[in-house]
Structure 1
Amino acid sequence: MKFEILEFLKCNYAAKNIPKGVLLLPLTLLVVVVLLPLIINLNESYSSLESKENISCNIFSGNWVAYTEGPYYTNKNCPFITYKQNCFMHGRPDTEFLKWRWKPDECELPLFDAKQFFRLVRGKSMAFVGDSIGRNQMESLLCLLNNVTRPEDITASYTSNDDRYFKWWYYADYKFTVAILWSPFLVKSSQTYLNDSSFSNAENLYVDEADQAWASHIENFNYVIFSGGQWFFRPLTFYENGHVVGCQKCHNLTEDPLNLYGYRKAFRTAFRTVINLKGFKGMVFLVTHSPNHFENGEWNKGGGCNRTFPFTKEESMFLRPYGLEEMYETQVEEFMGAEREAREKGLRFGLMNITGVMLMRPDGHPDKYGHNLDRNVCINDCVHWCMPGPVDTWNEFLLHMIKMGSL
Structure 2
Amino acid sequence: MGISNPNRDQSLTKKLFSLFLYALLPISLLSLYFYPIPFLPSTQTELPHSTIISHSSASSTPPSFTSTPPSSEKVETLDTPCDYFNGKWIRDRRGPLYNGTTCGTIKEGQNCIKHGRPDSDYLNWRWKPNQCNLPRFEPNTFLQIITNKHIAFVGDSMARNQLESLLCMLSTVSTPNLVYTSGVDNKFRKWNFVSHNASVSVYWSPFLVQGVEKSNEGPNHNKLYLDLVDEKWGKEMEFMDFIVISVGHWFLHPAVYYENDSVLGCHYCPGFNHTEIGFYDVLRKALRTTLNSIIDRKGNSIKGSNGVDVIVTTFSPAHFEGEWDKAGACPKTKPYRNREKELEGMDDEIRKIEIEEVESAKVKSSEFEGIIRLEALDITKLALLRPDGHPGPYMNPFPFANGVQEHVQNDCVHWCLPGPIDTWNEIFLEIMKKWKENPRIEE
TM-score (norm 1): 0.81
What residue number does 1:19 align with? Answer: none
Does 2:356 match 1:315?
no
1:336 aligned to 2:359?
yes
- 2: CA distance between counterparts of 1:264 and 1:128? 19
Asked if the contact 2:333/2:388 (under 8 Å) is kept, the reply is yes
Q: 2:197 aligned to 170, 175, 180, which one?
A: 175
34, 43, 49: which is aligned to 2:49? 43
Q: What is aligned with 1:354?
A: 379
Residues 260-271 of structure 1 aligned to structure 2 (within 5 Å): 260-271=280-291
Task: Give the C-alpha shift of residue 54 in structure 1.
Answer: 6.3
The one of 298, 312, 315 aligned to 1:286 = 312
C-alpha offsets along residues 211-237 of structure 1, whole Å, 9 cap, x if unaligned? 001111122211100011111111110
2 CA distance for matches of 1:293 and 1:83? 20
Aligned partner of 1:393 in structure 2 is 423
Alignment of 1:370 onto 2:395: yes
Q: How many residues align?
A: 352
Determine which of 221, 244, 262 is the counterpart of 2:263. 244
Summarize the Cα distance change of 1:371–1:252 in structure 2 as closer, same or farther, 3 Å threshold.
farther
- Choose the corresponding residue for 1:147, options 172, 179, 198: 172
Residues 220, 254 of structure 2: 8 Å contact kept: yes
> Whole-Å Cα distance in 2 between the matches of residues 56 and 138 of structure 1?
25
Aligned to 1:381: 411
Shift of 1:258: 3.8
Structure 2 residue aligned with 1:164: 186
CA contact (8 A) 1:371 1:381 kept: no
User: Using the alignment, how far apart are the partners of 1:388 and 1:196 within structure 2?
Assistant: 35
- Contact 2:140 2:173 (8 Å CA) reproduced: yes
Q: Tell me whether 117-126 or 386-395 shows the greater mean CA deviation.
A: 117-126
Give the one of 236, 241, 245 matched to 1:217: 236
Cα deviation 1:307-366 (Å, max 9, x = unaligned): 00000230121x65x621221122122121112112232221011000001000000001
Partner of 2:128: 103
Alpha carbons of structure 1 residues 83 and 45: separation in structure 2 relative to 1, 3 Å: closer
Once residues 171 and 327 of structure 2 are traced to their aligned partners in structure 1, the CA distance between those partners, rounded to angstroms, is 37
The alignment partner of 2:285 has SS state of helix
Residues in 1 aligned to 2:389 and 2:155: alpha-carbon distance in whole angstroms:
21
Tell me the distance in 2 between the aligned counterparts of 1:246 and 1:327: 19
Amino acid at match of 1:272: N
1:234 aligns with 2:253: yes
- Look up the equivalent residue of 1:106 and give its one-letter code: Q
Decide whether the 8 Å contact of 1:201 with 1:234 is kept in 2: no
> Once the two structures are superposed, what CA deviation does each residue of 1:277-304 show, in whole Å capped at 9, x if it has no partner?
123311100000000011134x468871
Assess, with a 3 A threshold, how the Cα gap between structure 1 residues 300 and 228 changes in structure 2: closer, same or farther.
farther
**Alignment CA distance shift 1:54-1:394 (3 Å):** farther
Give the corresponding residue for 1:9.
none
Summarize the alignment of residues 87-98 of structure 1 with structure 2, pairs less than 5 Å apart.
Answer: 87-98=112-123
Query: In 2, Cα distance between the equivalents of 1:370 and 1:219?
Result: 36
**Map of 2:17 onto structure 1:** none
> How many Å separate the matches in 1 of 2:137 and 2:315?
22
The residue number in structure 2 matching 1:128 is: 153
Choose the corresponding residue for 2:432, options 377, 380, 402. 402
AA of the residue aligned to 2:186:
R
Whether contact under 8 Å (1:53, 1:107) holds in the other structure is no
Match of 1:187 among 196, 209, 219: 209
- Which shifted more, 103-112 or 49-58? 49-58
Alpha-carbon spacing, 1:196–1:47, altered in 2? closer, same or farther (3 Å): farther
The more displaced of 55-64 and 307-316 is 55-64
Aligned letter for 1:392? D
TM-score, normalised to structure 2, is: 0.74
CA distance in 2, matches of 1:114, 1:223: 17
Q: The residue matched to 2:178 in structure 1 has which SS?
A: strand
Contact 1:258 1:323 in 2 (8 A): no
Q: Distance in 2 between matches of 1:337 and 1:98?
A: 37
Rg (Cα) greater in structure: 2
Query: How far apart are the structure 1 equivalents of 2:294 and 2:182?
Result: 24
Superposition CA RMSD, Å: 2.5
CA distance in 2 between partners of 1:243 and 1:330 (Å): 24
2:415 & 2:338 partners in 1: Cα distance?
Answer: 19
For residues 337 and 391 of structure 1, what CA distance do their matches in structure 2 show? Answer: 27
Taking a change above 3 Å as real, the CA distance of residues 227 and 54 of structure 1, as seen in their structure-2 partners, is farther
**Which residue is equivalent to 1:17?**
none
The amino acid across from 2:315 in the alignment is H
